[in-house]
């Protein structure tokens, strides 16, 4: 690779492999690993799915001549684990096999690991180098790092707006119009792909009532996100699509609605009661942390999106701009444009906005 050191070349391969696990590894991070002998890759692997073998194990298992391991270098984009979970510690596997050199992209900042894996390696006599493509390694696992370092999920805001700046027409009992698509089918497919990559998706009461969305990734192969709904007064009818059995649903209601909770819900639907008058989002994050949910897409409506923006609770925004004009309706949220990137899907423009990088300490 041009203008890349040898270590960076192999670490980039780790990152590329790790990305193949997107949407399947959470709450574990995405990890790839390669094993190199005499400048050539003799084994590689990635963490395919939560609960299955980690990247280092798959890389070791792919090596045909295991005797070479005692003279090889193992590359991995995240510090090898040091604890017993669903699988044994990878740091112990590496030292037990006598692999002498380990190159690491980023340290695992989760409290139960942070530095412990590296300590095991060094105490066993391994030559350890850290920080190779560290920024890229942390970007890959931004959800994982945000969850452990900020004690909240990685938050993505998503909406579509018309050419004249509206997110929706005004709809009510007197004007019960069907949802109007602002973008095209390409955008719809992409949104479903995004849903498959995140652990949860959130909307407010009005969006649930007026749009009756399913909030699934039915147009893309993948796992449906947990559907989170702000329903303060438990007024949503169970006939809505969000109450079907296609995905897990979590209703966030006000404590005062407990006495009204007489609903018999499907087994995939749960209710959590919070104090809506007292830091709603901190309470929401505490619930999601307990469920190990590391990422969330906020899909509306305008009031909910604006609330996350006003409270500075977001990490990136994905905004579609369609060619339609509504002339009037519900104004789209406005957001400070900092790190902006534009893309195009047919006649729809897609703008990505990222806040200051998580790596800026």
Catalytic residues: 56
How many angstroms separate the CA atoms of 228 and 280, rounded? 14
DSSP conformation letters of 261-289: ------TTEEEEEE-TTS-HHHHHHHHHH
Give the list of residues 6+ apart from residue 145 with CB closer than 8 angstroms, or none: 109, 138, 358
Please, what is the angle between helix 116-123 and helix 90-97, to 10°?
10
CA nearest 50: which of 216, 190, 199?
A: 199
Give the list of residues 6+ apart from residue 273 with CB closer than 8 angstroms, or none: 253, 254, 255, 257, 258
Give the list of residues 6+ apart from residue 170 with CB closer than 8 angstroms, or none: 328, 329, 330
Q: Are 78 and 54 a contacting pair, CB within 8 Å?
A: no
How many angstroms separate the CA atoms of 234 and 77, rounded? 45
Give the list of residues 6+ apart from residue 93 with CB closer than 8 angstroms, or none: 56, 57, 60, 80
Q: Are 26 and 295 a contacting pair, CB within 8 Å?
A: yes
């Amino acid at each position: 690779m041009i203008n890349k050191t040898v270590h960076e070349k192999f670490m980039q391969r780790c990152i590329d492999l790790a990305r193949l696990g997107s949407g399947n590894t959470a709450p574990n991070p995405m990890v790839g690993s390669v094993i190199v002998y005499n400048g050539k890759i003799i084994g590689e692997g990635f963490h395919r799915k939560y609960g299955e073998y980690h990247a280092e194990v798959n890389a070791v298992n792919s090596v045909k001549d295991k005797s070479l391991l005692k003279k090889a270098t193992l590359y991995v984009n995240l510090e090898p684990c040091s604890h017993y979970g669903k699988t044994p510690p990878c740091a112990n596997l590496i030292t037990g096999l006598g692999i002498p050199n380990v190159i690491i992209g980023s340290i695992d900042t989760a409290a139960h690991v942070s530095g412990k894996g590296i300590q095991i390696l060094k105490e066993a006599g391994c030559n350890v180098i850290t920080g190779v493509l560290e920024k890229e390694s942390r970007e890959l696992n931004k959800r994982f790092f945000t969850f452990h370092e900020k004690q909240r999920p990685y938050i993505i805001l998503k909406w579509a707006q018309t050419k004249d700046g509206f997110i929706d027409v005004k709809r009510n009992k007197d004007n019960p119009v069907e949802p109007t698509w602002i973008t095209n089918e390409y955008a719809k497919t992409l949104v479903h792909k995004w849903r498959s990559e995140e652990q949860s998706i959130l909307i407010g009461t009005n969006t649930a009532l007026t749009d009756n969305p399913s909030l699934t990734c039915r147009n893309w192969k993948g796992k449906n996100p947990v559907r989170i709904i702000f329903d303060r007064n438990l007024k949503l009818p169970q006939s809505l699509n969000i109450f079907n059995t296609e995905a897990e649903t979590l209703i966030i209601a006000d404590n005062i609605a407990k006495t009204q909770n007489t609903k018999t819900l499907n087994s995939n639907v749960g209710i959590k009661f919070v104090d809506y008058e007292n830091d709603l989002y901190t309470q929401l994050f505490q619930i999601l942390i307990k469920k190990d949910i590391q990422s969330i897409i906020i899909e509306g409506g305008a009031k909910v999106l604006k609330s996350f923006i006003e409270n500075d609770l977001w990490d990136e925004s994905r905004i579609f701009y369609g060619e339609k004009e509504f002339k009037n309706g519900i104004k789209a949220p406005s957001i400070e444009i900092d790190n902006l990137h534009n893309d195009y899907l047919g006649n729809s423009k897609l703008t990505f906005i990222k806040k200051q990088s998580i790596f800026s300490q």
